[in-house]
Structure 1
Amino acid sequence: MDELELLKKDWKKQEDVLPRLSYKEIYKMILKKSSSIVRWIFIISILEFLLWASLDVVFRLNGMYSNVEKVDMGLFSLIASIASYGILIYFITRFYINYKKIKATDSAKVLMENIIKTRRTVKRYIWVNISFFALAMIATMSYALMFTETFQNSSAKNQLPVWLIIVVTLLVTSVFIGVIALFYRVIYGIFTRRLKRNYGELKKLEI
């Protein structure tokens, strides 16, 4: 008899001694865990919003924003900031709605559906943020090269080759995207994996 069979035999002996949890009790435990996870996703998204807002304020107070205006990119920067804040506010709202829905769930089937929706929302949030950052970097480079007076009026001697600017921008963008993707994978990935585990436990209850 192998070790696994011995463990199973020993477990069966203890089944009568161990407390048995009802379907309702197990469901309540999973509901509580899922609600807590989604609440933390909501809280972290707010903290992320405050972080970017704080960096933006510091950026402007330190006079670094004036350098952006010097190269005629003030309006472009403003539009990009409004768009990024709009994305963050939208997903914060979605996370809050998901949290309220899960908290008020009264059946395992509905809870499973809400867990799936929350995981999808988190995945969309990650991909939208990464895509927006990549597009913003490429758009910034394109705008600077084609529309700003600083680049258009600079002499050929002082001006860097366009191909070099493109390569450097793409490299910097790739590094930043990698860092952001890693951050999201570590932070939000922990919670989505826990939600997936809860979903699996609920599925077993429904069988």
Structure 2
Amino acid sequence: MDELELLKKDWKRREGSLPKLSYDEIYKMILKKSSSIVKWIFIVSILEFVLWTSLDLILRFLGVYDPTEGTYLEVFTYISYFFSYGILFYFMVKFYLNYKRIKVTDSAKELMHNIIKTRKTVKHYVFINLSFLAIFSFISVFLVYYSDSVDPAAEELPLPVLIITSIILISIFIGLIALLYRVVYGVLTRRLKRNYEELESLDE
């Protein structure tokens, strides 16, 4: 008898002495883990809101926005912040509702549906937020370039050079934000995916 067979026999012998969890006990464990993960998604979205708001206040305190006062750049900035905070508030509410929904889920099938829904909400949030940042950044570059407050030396910069430079710098910026989202939200959604797979195997 080879070593593998001996290991199998030993495992089967020890398996009988291990505590066996019922379907309901396993489901409750997965429900608790999923609820905790979705709560953390909501908490992270709040922390992100605090971070962006703090950064905006710091920039204003340092006078970074002073040259735009009384210009169309100031109007554009306020409009952009309105949409930006609107996106954050909307998804914060969605994350909270997902948490409340999962917390009171009473069946494995419903929990699987809510996990899928939560993961989709996170994906939509990341896509919409990154798209808005990219569009906002490009428009800001051109508004600053054509504004009266721009440095005269910058006005001599050829438009194609401006476009290429903007694409590179904004792509790097968006890439770093996307990497941050992947690390933070990606870890949480992957854990939800594992819970979903555990529920699938539970129903087999």
Bucket of the pairwise TM-score, normalised by the shorter protein: over 0.9
2:14 equivalent to 1:14: yes
Distance in 1 (CA, whole Å) between partners of 2:124 and 2:51 is 20
Residue 192 of structure 1 aligns with which residue? Answer: 189
2:51 equivalent to 1:54: no
Distance in 2 (CA, whole Å) between partners of 1:61 and 1:145 is 24
Contact persistence 2:38–2:95 (CA under 8 A): yes
Deviations 1:87-118 (A, max 9, x none): 00001000000000000000000000000000
Shift of 1:5: 4.4
2:38 equivalent to 1:28: no
Q: 1:113 to 1:158 in 2, by over 3 A?
A: closer
Q: Normalization by structure 1: what TM-score? A: 0.91
Contact persistence 1:80–1:136 (CA under 8 A): yes
Q: Normalization by structure 2: what TM-score? A: 0.92
Residue 179 of structure 1 aligns with which residue? Answer: 176
Distance in 1 (CA, whole Å) between partners of 2:15 and 2:48 is 46
Shift of 1:71: 6.3
Residue 198 of structure 2 aligns with which residue? Answer: 201
Shift of 1:34: 0.2
Residue 88 of structure 2 aligns with which residue? Answer: 88
Distance in 2 (CA, whole Å) between partners of 1:8 and 1:73 is 71
Q: 1:172 to 1:5 in 2, by over 3 A?
A: farther
Residue 110 of structure 2 aligns with which residue? Answer: 110
Shift of 1:206: 1.2
Q: Which runs of 5+ in 2 are unaligned?
A: none
Residue 43 of structure 1 aligns with which residue? Answer: 43
Q: 1:200 to 1:158 in 2, by over 3 A?
A: closer
Distance in 2 (CA, whole Å) between partners of 1:186 and 1:38 is 16
Deviations 1:38-66 (A, max 9, x none): 00000000000000001111111111111
The one-letter code matched in structure 2 to 1:105 is T
Contact persistence 1:141–1:166 (CA under 8 A): no
Residue 166 of structure 2 aligns with which residue? Answer: 169
Shift of 1:150: 4.1
Shift of 1:75: 0.4
Contact persistence 1:37–1:195 (CA under 8 A): yes
Distance in 2 (CA, whole Å) between partners of 1:2 and 1:160 is 76
Shift of 1:141: 2.5
Distance in 2 (CA, whole Å) between partners of 1:168 and 1:65 is 22
Q: Which runs of 5+ in 1 are unaligned?
A: none
Contact persistence 1:27–1:202 (CA under 8 A): yes
Moved over 2 A (4+): 1-10, 67-72, 141-146, 148-151
The one-letter code matched in structure 2 to 1:111 is L
Q: 1:5 to 1:68 in 2, by over 3 A?
A: farther
Deviations 1:146-192 (A, max 9, x none): 5x3346x959x952111121111111101001101110011111101
- Count of residues in correspondence between the two structures: 204
Q: 1:56 to 1:3 in 2, by over 3 A?
A: farther
